[in-house]
């Protein structure tokens, strides 16, 4: 048995051989704490790469459970996870701890919103965007600018992908390029046009590479907007300028953090599901709730999340108080169910 350093140098020997990394770079990776926000096709692949690469801390925040339709493209999950409705953050954490016991891994089942984003950023060196909706990215952009934390934007749909590093104070931010979020429903989503697994995997590889570069102090990716199509194998990279007039990074107004966090309603990526988040951080006693709801509907509790059929609607309830209503895009209906059964 060698000492810990010899074990680690053996484990990361191929990476250490790279002149850009070396032993010193490997040590820097080991001191870097990353937040992976969202653990779908992008997040699961990024988390896997960074855990294998030996980062210090990988914190994964995801609000959702594993579904059968995820298995075609998402890393880290299996059929059993889908059958049990396992929260993705929990399933990812369990799997990743088997991959590399030298990395601190934190799986957090929660929905990032203006009210709790600061908590997830605490102690974090950089953030990787694996979110599935536009609104959350604007919240993340504001929160990272305010805290001076770099983040790597990424998105993928169909056979196309896009990625860019946002480095506060150095390059453009999300709002320099897209000043306002597009109207709901105006963009294609994985649920309306589909997605080939290779496209998000490639985006995730680019984002994870940017994370490793940032950890090593290489900021050359800031403001470089990369887009591609895997089917035609066409890539473009353009250098985007920072806009002095940008509301967020130019004028320092973080409009997406100022929003009233009063129950936050989100339609999930055109996924035929609506989520209601509680107005503030909360925690539910799900086993007690399971007993109550068993009086009015069919209920199953797997120890982590509660699934139920209420008034004919499939709902999932999370320990942080979120309610996910499946099979509908009707926000009013979702609000009614949240009010009726959870009191908000």
Annotation says 190 is catalytic: yes
271 lies in the site for Zn ion, by CB under 5 A: no
**Alpha-carbon gap, residue 30 to 162, rounded angstroms:** 28
CA 106 to centroid of chain Cα atoms: 13
Q: Quickly list DSSP for 111-151.
A: ---TTTHHHHHTT-SEEEE--SSHHHHHHHHHHHHHHT--E
For Zn ion, the closer of residues 12 and 138 by Cβ is 138
For Zn ion, the closer of residues 102 and 253 by Cβ is 253
Least distance (Å) between residue 128 CB and Zn ion: 19
137 lies in the site for Zn ion, by CB under 5 A: no
Among 59, 88, 175, 322, binds Zn ion (CB under 5 A): 175
176 lies in the site for Zn ion, by CB under 5 A: yes
The encoded tokens of residue 198 equal 């290779």
First to last CA, the chain: 57
47 lies in the site for Zn ion, by CB under 5 A: no
Least distance (Å) between residue 170 CB and Zn ion: 11
For Zn ion, the closer of residues 90 and 210 by Cβ is 210
Query: What does the CA dihedral 175, 177, 181, 187 come to, rounded to 10 degrees?
Result: -160
Other Cβ atoms less than 10 A from the Cβ of 130: the count is: 28
Among 61, 89, 91, 173, binds Zn ion (CB under 5 A): 173
Going by their DSSP bridges, the two strands 104-109 and 57-62 should be labelled as parallel
**Alpha-carbon gap, residue 153 to 255, rounded angstroms:** 19
The encoded tokens of residue 101 equal 């016991």
**Alpha-carbon gap, residue 82 to 85, rounded angstroms:** 5
249 lies in the site for Zn ion, by CB under 5 A: yes
Least distance (Å) between residue 137 CB and Zn ion: 13
167 lies in the site for Zn ion, by CB under 5 A: no
**Are 151 and 144 spatial neighbours (Cβ–Cβ below 8 Å)?**
yes
144 lies in the site for Zn ion, by CB under 5 A: no
For Zn ion, the closer of residues 75 and 167 by Cβ is 167
**Alpha-carbon gap, residue 125 to 148, rounded angstroms:** 10
Least distance (Å) between residue 258 CB and Zn ion: 16
140 lies in the site for Zn ion, by CB under 5 A: no
Least distance (Å) between residue 179 CB and Zn ion: 8
User: Contact region for Zn ion (CB under 5 A) — 71-79, 130-138, 172-180, 200-208?
Assistant: 172-180
User: Contact region for Zn ion (CB under 5 A) — 50-58, 130-138, 160-168, 171-179?
Assistant: 171-179
Q: Is the dihedral of CA 14, 56, 51, 43 positive or negative?
A: negative
For Zn ion, the closer of residues 28 and 175 by Cβ is 175
Among 246, 310, 334, 342, binds Zn ion (CB under 5 A): 246
Residue written as tokens 């820097």?
Answer: 28
37 lies in the site for Zn ion, by CB under 5 A: no
Those residues whose C-beta lies under 8 Å from the C-beta of residue 285, and which sit 6 or more positions away, are: none
65 lies in the site for Zn ion, by CB under 5 A: no
DSSP reduced 3-state for 271: coil
Least distance (Å) between residue 242 CB and Zn ion: 6
143 lies in the site for Zn ion, by CB under 5 A: no
Least distance (Å) between residue 219 CB and Zn ion: 16
For Zn ion, the closer of residues 182 and 343 by Cβ is 182
Positions in the binding site for Zn ion (CB under 5 A):
173, 175-176, 246, 248-249
Which residues are known catalytic residues?
190
């Amino acid at each position: 048995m060698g000492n810990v350093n010899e074990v680690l140098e053996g484990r990361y020997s191929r990476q250490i051989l790279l002149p850009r990394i070396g032993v010193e770079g490997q040590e820097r990776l080991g001191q870097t704490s990353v937040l992976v926000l969202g653990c779908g096709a992008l997040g699961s692949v990024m988390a896997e790469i960074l855990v294998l690469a030996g980062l210090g801390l990988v914190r994964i925040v995801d609000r959702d459970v594993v579904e059968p339709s995820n298995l075609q493209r998402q890393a880290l999950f299996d059929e059993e996870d889908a059958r049990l409705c396992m929260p993705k953050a929990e399933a990812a954490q369990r799997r990743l701890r088997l991959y590399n016991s030298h990395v601190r891994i934190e799986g957090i089942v929660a929905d990032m919103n203006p009210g709790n984003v600061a908590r997830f950023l605490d102690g974090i060196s950089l953030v990787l965007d694996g979110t599935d909706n536009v609104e959350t990215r604007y919240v993340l952009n504001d929160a990272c600018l305010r805290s001076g934390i770099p983040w790597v934007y990424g998105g993928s749909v169909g056979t196309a992908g896009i990625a860019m590093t946002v480095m506060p104070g150095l390059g453009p931010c999300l709002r320099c390029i897209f000043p306002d979020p597009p109207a709901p429903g105006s963009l294609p989503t994985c649920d309306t046009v589909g997605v080939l697994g290779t496209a998000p995997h490639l985006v995730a590889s680019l984002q994870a590479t940017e994370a490793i570069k940032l950890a090593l102090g290489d900021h050359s990716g800031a403001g470089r907007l990369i887009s591609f199509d895997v089917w035609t194998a066409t890539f473009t990279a353009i250098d985007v300028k920072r806009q002095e007039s940008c509301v967020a990074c130019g004028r320092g107004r973080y409009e997406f953090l100022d929003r009233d966090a009063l129950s936050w309603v989100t339609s999930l990526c055109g996924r035929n599901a609506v989520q209601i988040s509680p107005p503030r951080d909360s925690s539910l006693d799900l086993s007690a709730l399971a007993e109550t709801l068993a009086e009015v509907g069919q209920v199953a509790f797997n120890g982590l999340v509660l699934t139920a059929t209420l008034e004919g609607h499939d709902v999932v309830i999370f320990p942080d108080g979120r309610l996910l209503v499946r099979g509908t895009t009707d926000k009013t209906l979702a609000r009614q169910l949240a009010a009726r059964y959870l009191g908000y």
